[in-house]
Amino acid sequence: MNNRRVRVRFAPSPTGPLHIGGVRTALYNYLFARQHGGDFIVRIEDTDSQRFVPGAEQYIFEALRWCGLRADEGVEQGGPHAPYRQSERREIYLRYALQLVESGYAYYAFDSAQTLNGLRQQAEARGEAFAYNYQVRTQLETSLSLPPSEVQARIDRGDAWVIRFKMPENETVEMDDLIRGHIAANTAALDDKVLYKSADGLPTYHLANIVDDHLMQISHVIRGEEWLPSLPLHYLLYRAFGWADTQPQFAHLPLLLKPQGQGKLSKRDGDKMGFPVFPLRWCPADGAEEARGYREDGYLPEAFVNMLALLGWNPGTEQELFSMDELVAAFSLDRVGKAGARFSPDKARWFNAQYLHRCPGQQLAQALLPMLQGIGVSASPDRAAQAIDLIKERASFVPDLLPLTERMFVPPVSYDQKSADKFWKSDNVSNLRALRAQLEAMPELRATEAEAHVQQWVRDNQLPMGALMNTLRLAVIGVSQGPSIFGICAFIGKEETLRRIDAALSTLGDGRG
């Protein structure tokens, strides 16, 4: 790498909710910037007014915040190259488009939508795809075919025009990509892309992107593979502007693939298989269909980020769990693969479970408390944290915490029928009465001591430990399965434990033989 300061950008277009592939692009840019002590910039590319979707920009910012990807410069933060929203930079771009016309790299075109549609239909009738290229540009109404005075007259009278790039007829463009290595492409197959439109006074993506990357001194462009076909045009634009010496280095990230491995991961895959493809829930302003998000599905942002980091990059070791700091230290573009990365919903759940199990009860309590309030329970943060620590090994998602802790705060109002059929038998019930007396005799119910005492008592009296514990659990929390029952009894306290046993005895009776 040369000595240039590392400056990277995430440059989404606000055309809808940010796909998790876009979040991964932002993450890799962030990791690269942090690792090199450089700058991470967030630029909004909103020059395509046709595709603008209200609320999408705020969604992008919120998603980045949730993931902990703080920008050094951007729409929200400001910075030395402000504004960072392209629609607010519109007067910059015309100047650069005109520079290319003057130097012969671009030209005016006056074709109406009708003319272009006609040409498209004719090409289709011949079984070909229409391309606006060197074969047609001199035959159409362009500044390459019309006399300069006519061009000026049309502009002066306010006819609609666009500026198109004059793609070389037959040139091999040699390119380098940090992930894909050397790439060559011939220009014969490329068309003359529109760079600027008088109709809305806005540039297209290609012009605005190159001009801004240059002005913002971007050193590396790290973006999705879908932009690779645009790379020859971008190389040629840098050359046409005379900026080739300072153009950024490029890295095109592999696609995120469907769980089956073929094709790009889409919202439809998520809907079919029951997982989100967006970081946050998306509620479109126009009332169109909502989409689920990782945050609302109960994922922890650290788990989500860790999972995304490993979709396309591998650390070269067996390590799978990485904090953000560890990712910053370990990340490298050299270890980003060329082949698409297959998304696995099971792996995503696994990551979340790992993080949930390691997350302190105190932290998770912040999420549990409102859920408890929702069922009419007000608990202190400490109590909530204690309850969580007893059950979190059994949870994969934040919303799992409520059903797993609910019975610790609210005594059972009914008993699971299956468990009752299996365990509420007269032997077990009379053993439970004896166990109740043991518990009552203890001065205080502490989990480890109670467990040791009961185990000894069970051995001495040769009772079936498993069946007795399931019967006790059924009495105390209404089901026979769950975490260590002594932890729960200690949590609710001796009085409440005895009360719940009595309630079960009076509701369920003595049990059948």
In DSSP terms, which residues pair with 224 in a beta bridge?
A: 253
Rounded Cα distance between 29 and 44, Å, is 15
Both ends of the chain: CA-CA distance in Å? 80
Rounded Cα distance between 241 and 213, Å, is 13
By beta-carbon proximity to ligand GLU, the closer residue of 28 and 486 is 28
CB atoms within 10 A of CB 377: 18
Supply 60's token pair: 């992008």
Which residues in this chain contact ligand GLU in the complex, by CB under 6 A? Answer: 11-13, 45, 205, 209, 221, 223, 227
Q: What is the closest distance, in whole angstroms, from the C-beta atom of residue 204 to ligand GLU in the complex?
A: 11
- 422 catalytically annotated: no
By beta-carbon proximity to ligand GLU, the closer residue of 11 and 236 is 11
By beta-carbon proximity to ligand GLU, the closer residue of 45 and 57 is 45
**477 near 504, Cβ under 8 Å?**
no
Q: What is the closest distance, in whole angstroms, from the C-beta atom of residue 15 to ligand GLU in the complex?
A: 7
Q: What is the closest distance, in whole angstroms, from the C-beta atom of residue 223 to ligand GLU in the complex?
A: 4
Q: What is the closest distance, in whole angstroms, from the C-beta atom of residue 8 to ligand GLU in the complex?
A: 10
Handedness of CA 180, 181, 187, 193 (dihedral sign): positive
By beta-carbon proximity to ligand GLU, the closer residue of 57 and 302 is 57
By beta-carbon proximity to ligand GLU, the closer residue of 205 and 235 is 205
**Which is the catalytic residue, given 267, 347, 422, 425?**
267
Supply 105's token pair: 């790299």
- Only one residue has tokens 């796909």, namely 19
Mapping DSSP to helix (H, G, I), strand (E, B) and coil, where does residue 457 land? Answer: helix
**49 near 200, Cβ under 8 Å?**
yes
Rounded Cα distance between 175 and 181, Å, is 8
CA atoms within 13 A on the CB side of 335: 14
Q: 283's torsion region: left (phi>0), alpha (psi -120 to 50) or beta?
A: beta
Q: What is the closest distance, in whole angstroms, from the C-beta atom of residue 349 to ligand GLU in the complex?
A: 28
Q: What is the closest distance, in whole angstroms, from the C-beta atom of residue 95 to ligand GLU in the complex?
A: 21
CA atoms within 13 A on the CB side of 188: 4
By beta-carbon proximity to ligand GLU, the closer residue of 169 and 226 is 226
Distances 440 to 417, 433, 489 between C-alpha atoms, Å: 27, 11, 12
Q: Where are any strands of DSSP class E within 60-169?
A: 73-74, 106-109, 162-165
- Enumerate the active-site residues: 267
